[in-house]
Structure 1
């Protein structure tokens, strides 16, 4: 095929788009010492917040989520998802310093997770209670955590003008 023939061939393009919507929620625990002793596997819920068209809350477990282990403070992300389809989500739970910045050594990022009506709660052990109590993160009997949520939306394909290939 000559160079001239190649130039005359029709050229089309398409793009695959994997959109996502992100949001964050901060939970401040004031009166931390009074939440201890709530009981293993018992939690206190944050207010409901919305990200990506779905409703969520954080569940604070002051005496751990796991039965028989009360040494950890656990934070779980709960979905109020009632639909049939799964919701694909990445999330990160971070202990915040006194300036409101995530503490890297106490920030846990999830892999891509599937939330559904039958599997609607996931989370992590964030910090040992003894470590929190001797840290600067607990001040005046209060501390904060932040949950960053990214909801994957439906992937789609669409035609793309050749001029848009470099974008």
Structure 2
């Protein structure tokens, strides 16, 4: 029997919901042996952090200690957030996960410096977003954040998970002559 035939003489009520849940996860990447890393990697080469979970998805940080291949950024450290694997519910209907990464250096006491906000971006599996010019190497080397050839970067990841739900149709009998509604499910 079709939905229209089953609903004859009754009101059909369906419902759906969009549930949005924001979450923030902080991940700290510690770089021990900074000078050695700068010495062995070429511009455009990066090292990855371990994979971590944020908002039900797997992420990693990519660190470019000698910047990108772009001549203007070779004197800078680049840092990016990469979507390693999307969880079961992407934020957008097109498979993207919406996230907002913010990066900051962390001092020896564990206190983050003011962050650089990369803005909200739609991530696909393997896609990354961040800064080619997070900090100039010379600036880092003069700062309080590099101690004993170590420094740390904190990435705060805001992920908004959107889930869509749909309920099955409910048929409500309506006796027009009595002018009342009763549920017959």
Pick the TM interval, shorter chain.
Answer: 0.7 to 0.9
Map 1:46-125 to 2 at 5 A: 46-68=49-71, 69-81=73-85, 85-104=95-114, 107-117=115-125, 120-124=127-131, 125=133
Q: Which residue of 2 aligns with 1:23?
A: 25
* Aligned-partner Cα distance in 2 for 1:16–1:36: 47
* Aligned-partner Cα distance in 2 for 1:126–1:102: 14
Q: Which residue of 2 aligns with 1:139?
A: 147
Of residues 143-152 and 80-89 in structure 1, the stretch that sits farther from structure 2 once superposed is: 80-89
Q: How many residues align?
A: 141
Report if the CA contact (8 A) 2:29-2:152 is conserved. yes
* Aligned-partner Cα distance in 2 for 1:81–1:66: 26
* Aligned-partner Cα distance in 2 for 1:59–1:16: 33
Structure 1 residue 111: deviation in Å? Answer: 1.6
Report if the CA contact (8 A) 2:51-2:84 is conserved. no
The one of 152, 155, 165 equivalent to 2:160 is 152
RMSD: 2.3
Of residues 40-49 and 74-83 in structure 1, the stretch that sits farther from structure 2 once superposed is: 74-83
SS of 2:85's equivalent in the other structure is coil
Q: Which runs of 5+ in 1 are unaligned?
A: 1-14, 158-167
SS of 1:131's equivalent in the other structure is helix
* Aligned-partner Cα distance in 2 for 1:135–1:111: 26
TM-score (norm 1): 0.76
